[in-house]
Chain A
Amino acid sequence: MSCNPERVTAYVDGALDAAHCPELEAHLAACPECRAQVEAERELRARLKALPAPAPAPELEKRVRASLRPRRSAASWLLPLAAGLVALLAWARGATPFVAWELSRDHDHCFSRRHLPAEVWSSDPARIAEWLEGRGTSVPVIPEAAGGLELVGARYCGLPDRRVAHLYYTNGEHRLSLFLVPGPVRDTSRETRPRGNFVRLLRVGGTTVGLVSEEEESVEAFRRALSTTLAWDLGRVDRPAR
């Protein structure tokens, strides 16, 4: 084999295919000039490898990161914005004015019909509770009557964001809606008057109860009744007199 300096370079770099290695190594053993090339290239490689790397200005990385940012911006601000909107919607959904307004609207809607659109008719709270519980609603102790208004029936009503149990109380002249509201409702202690109705949201035994009526006295009578339901319920239990 005659001298092939390019192959010697590839040999130094470990890039010579295995088939040519024995041939070249045999040649190296016999050729001082090519051996010198191997030595010289190895030394040059070592010196180049040891050369201090030119350091970029510290601002370069910042500039590079900044130049990527406009491309990231859509994702980086749209995502938090969307998350914020979702959180805001979730927050608004549980806001008392929002819930109260929807209940008030539903109260007007049902009682404005010529016939009440009840799905179950009964004046017995136990019967109504049984019907609702059979459909997955947990029902607190509910009054049979209060303020002269009596239970007549119930149904489910669809609000924009949830399904509520709607219980109808009336005496023919006045009427009151008692809603069992699932899902988040904040600040149930507040009184509101959306759409001209009196609305009161209460927590009764872990359930949110909404009271809606045109008459403030009716709402107040049911609020009192509900706040004493526990005692009222116990009172129904026959106990031996002491």
Chain B
Amino acid sequence: MRPAGLSREERFEAEALPHLKALYGTAYRMTRNAQDAEDLVQETFLRAYRAFDGYTSGTNIRAWLHTILYRVRTDAFRRAGRSPRTVELDGDGPAVAAPQDALASGGEDLVRALDGLPESFRVAVVLRDVQELTYEEIARVLGVPIGTVMSRIHRGRALMRAALGGRKP
């Protein structure tokens, strides 16, 4: 699968850089902030480049890059003394997010519902519904069992449906 004759740098640029926009999309949903998202993506690519020898050519590189993105994100939280994984569900509805997305009309409520999710649910929903990763891939990205992935996606979607005016989760 590995293209012959390409240097490590060229392979990285050819294989990883096309996913920059996708990575930014996830990073933006994680941080809800363009500047933080850009910093996160830049650090992710730097680390991915260093770790590129550990990537198995031919496997889902987008999933691999998301694993690193998530690690960079959690490392930043660890340095700041908190974790996105400590959030647990209770009966309260999602918090109201700042309307920072310039979206076509009709998307604002959806973005607000998504942004209002606790980050651990938000990331699971984005990886599944936006990035289309499988449960197995998401489990690897987040470093949790598949059952936890299923639970987070379920609860994230339920919270969003509630926020969008559907029935209660």
Task: Describe A's contact surface by its main secondary structure.
Answer: helix
Tell me if A60 and B13 are in contact (CB < 8 A): no
- Contacting residue for B20 out of A9, A60, A75, CB 8 A: A60
Tell me if B25 and A44 are in contact (CB < 8 A): no
Tell me if B161 and A60 are in contact (CB < 8 A): no
Tell me if B12 and A68 are in contact (CB < 8 A): yes
Q: Which residues of A contact B151 (CB under 8 A)?
A: 6
Binds B, one of A48-56, A83-91, A130-138: A48-56
Binds A, one of B36-44, B54-62, B73-81: B36-44
What string of 1s and 0s marks CB contacts (under 8 Å) between B16-43 and chain A?
A: 0100111011001100001001100110
- Contacting residue for B38 out of A5, A53, A56, CB 8 A: A56
Q: Which residue, A6, A9, A54, has most C-beta atoms of chain B within 10 A?
A: A54
Known: A56-B21, A61-B20, A75-B7. A67 touches B38 (CB 8 A): no
Total of A-B residue pairs, C-beta within 8 Å? 103
Q: Which residues of A contact B38 (CB under 8 A)?
A: 56-57, 60, 63
Q: Which residues of B contact A10 (CB under 8 A)?
A: 135, 150, 154
Q: How far is the CB of B92 from chain A (nearest CB, A)?
A: 19
CB nearest to B135 among chain A residues: A15
Tell me if A52 and B34 are in contact (CB < 8 A): no
Tell me if A56 and B129 are in contact (CB < 8 A): no
- Contacting residue for A56 out of B37, B125, B154, B166, CB 8 A: B37
What string of 1s and 0s marks CB contacts (under 8 Å) between A147-166 and chain B?
A: 00000000000000000000
Tell me if B107 and A60 are in contact (CB < 8 A): no
* Interface: A236 (CB within 8 A): no
* Interface: B111 (CB within 8 A): yes
Separation of A41 and B129 alpha carbons in the complex (Å): 10
Tell me if B13 and A57 are in contact (CB < 8 A): no
Separation of A67 and B45 alpha carbons in the complex (Å): 9
Q: Which residues of A contact B161 (CB under 8 A)?
A: 40-41, 44
Known: A9-B153, A60-B38, A68-B46. A54 touches B28 (CB 8 A): yes
Q: Which residue, A7, A41, A76, has most C-beta atoms of chain B within 10 A?
A: A41
Q: Which residues of A contact B130 (CB under 8 A)?
A: 48-49, 51, 53
Separation of A98 and B13 alpha carbons in the complex (Å): 44
Known: A13-B135, A15-B135, A65-B13. A44 touches B20 (CB 8 A): no
Tell me if B21 and A55 are in contact (CB < 8 A): yes
Tell me if B107 and A56 are in contact (CB < 8 A): no
- Contacting residue for A48 out of B45, B46, B125, CB 8 A: B125
Q: Which residues of A contact B24 (CB under 8 A)?
A: 54-56, 60
* Interface: B142 (CB within 8 A): no
Q: How far is the CB of B40 from chain A (nearest CB, A)?
A: 11
* Interface: B63 (CB within 8 A): no
**9 tightest A-B contacts by CB?**
A9-B154, A48-B129, A56-B24, A54-B28, A15-B135, A53-B25, A6-B154, A64-B45, A72-B9
15 further A-B contacts with Cβ under 8 Å, apart from A13-B128, A15-B134, A54-B24, are: A5-B154, A6-B151, A9-B154, A9-B157, A10-B150, A10-B154, A44-B164, A48-B130, A52-B103, A54-B29, A54-B34, A55-B24, A56-B34, A57-B34, A68-B12
28 contacts between A and B (CB under 8 A): A5-B154, A6-B154, A9-B154, A15-B146, A15-B150, A40-B166, A44-B161, A45-B129, A48-B126, A48-B129, A52-B103, A53-B21, A53-B22, A53-B130, A54-B28, A54-B37, A55-B21, A56-B20, A56-B38, A60-B20, A60-B38, A64-B20, A64-B42, A64-B45, A68-B12, A68-B13, A71-B49, A75-B7
